[in-house]
Amino acid sequence: MRIIFIGSGEIGVPTLQRLAQAHSMVAVFTRPDRPAGRGHILRPTPIKEAALELGLELHQPESVNSPESLQLIREFKPEAIVVASYGEILSKDLLQIPQRGAINLHASLLPKYRGAAPINWAIIRGETETGITTFLMDEGLDTGETLVQRRVPIEDDDTAGSLKAKLAQVGAEVMLATLEGLERETLKPQPQDHSRATYAPKLKKVLGRLDWQRPSRDLFNLIRGLNPAPGAFTFFRGKRLKVHRGQVVEGGYQGQPGEIVSTDEGLIVKTGDGALELLEVQPEARARMSGPDFVRGYKVAKGDRLG
């Protein structure tokens, strides 16, 4: 098929690579380079980097819905448009261009976790599985008829970063199967049950502050779900302390939520219902370090508090 790929995020890279081998990829559209980091250096999207490596025709309009972009896409005469983590809602005019529709790659089992951050929220809310869904896009937010779904377990050692990497690979396989089904006309789109919909809104940095009154498992899931970004954090001696990894620990620890209740074998903090060991932390303007290294380096004592 003649395909246009529209995407920005890294989760779409394996899909782009596989489709470039299996179909006629006539053009790739991605977001413009944006300044990032302390130096505000312009950085390309992961999709731009992949497209250049593949030698594909690349376009970076400010808006894919602009009259100029729409005209260009019409001239390409795509049979299908594949969308993955683009960052802009596609207009009705754009959705009507491809003969077989615009197909979105979404990292959840729709209708659960519609929205911008489905991988993160699935972990934060303690789900034990998620998956990939392809669907025909309409004007709603992830509301179109579904095509193919594949389930993926969420392991206790998964972070948002590791789960995204898994789902990216699964997504490429699912998209290939979707396009094959559409080409052979063996797929029957299924309407979503909107009454079962849940949402995964864009992440805000304030979400990452650890509330030690909460249960240990909730804090454990929050740390994993915000790793690598935007990251979980607390405060120690008035300065921000990022928390990259933790684990729920057993034992009848006594103390107030946020109190460091043991430093003998690690950095163990009292929670609302038990205790959490902080395995990897990062003080302000410092490198990451293990919990025991933090205890030694900052002379942390039992009874000190986080908050």
pLDDT at 251: 84
Domain assignments of the chain as residue spans, ordered by start = 2-196, 205-297
Beta carbons of 16 and 3 less than 8 angstroms apart? no
What's the CATH number for 2-196?
Answer: 3.40.50.170
| pLDDT per residue as tens digits for the range 28-84 | 999 999 998 777 899 999 999 999 999 999 999 999 999 999 999 999 999 999 999
Dihedral angle over CA of 39, 280, 300, 284, nearest 10: 10
| pLDDT per residue as tens digits for the range 229-272 | 999 999 999 999 999 999 999 988 999 999 999 999 899 999 99
Give the separation between CA 48 and CA 36, rounded to whole angstroms.
16
User: Under CATH, domain 205-297 is a member of which superfamily?
Assistant: Formyl transferase, C-terminal domain (3.10.25.10)
Whether the pLDDT of residue 183 is over 90: the answer is yes
Amino acid in the structure at residue 185: E
Range 122-132 average pLDDT: 98
